Amino acid sequence: DGGITQSPKYLFRKEGQNVTLSCEQNLNHDAMYWYRQDPGQGLRLIYYSQIVNDFQKGDIAEGYSVSREKKESFPLTVTSAQKNPTAFYLCASRLHGYTFGSGTRLTVV
C-alpha cells in the first residue's frame, strides 16, 4: 500500500547536537511538507518542496534544514541552532490533498 513512512517514531537529542528525521513516500507525489506540532498551537509549516532539488522555507524555518535529492525522500535536520526543538514533527505529501506520516516525537535531553 502507498503511504508515508516517518522514522524514528521517538528521537532523543542532546543539547548542541544535530539530528535528522526521515520521511519517505511511495505515492509518487511531487510536493512534500514538514510541519511542527506544539500543544495549543496547531501545525506550523517548517519547509516544503514542490520538486526534486528544490525547497522553500515555511513559517518557522530557523534552526532547520532539508534536502530533496530524490522524489521519495524529504529528510529534515534539526540543527543545534533550533533553541526549542522538543515537539512532534509531521511529514506530509500532497496530490489533491494532504497525506500525513505517523510523526516523530523529538525530545531534547
Interface residues with another protein (CB under 8 A)?
Answer: 31, 33, 40-43, 45, 48, 50, 54, 56, 88, 90, 92, 94, 97-98, 100-103, 105
> According to the 3-state scheme, what is the secondary structure of the chain?
CCCEEEECCEEEECCCCCEEEEEEECCCCCEEEEEEECCCCCEEEEEEEEECCEEEECCCCCCEEECCCECCECCEEECCCCCCCCEEEEEEEECCCEEECCCEEEEEC
Min dist CB 40 to another protein, Å, is 6
Closer to another protein by Cβ: residue 57 or 70 = 57
In the complex, minimum distance from the CB of residue 74 to another protein, in angstroms, rounded to a whole number: 13
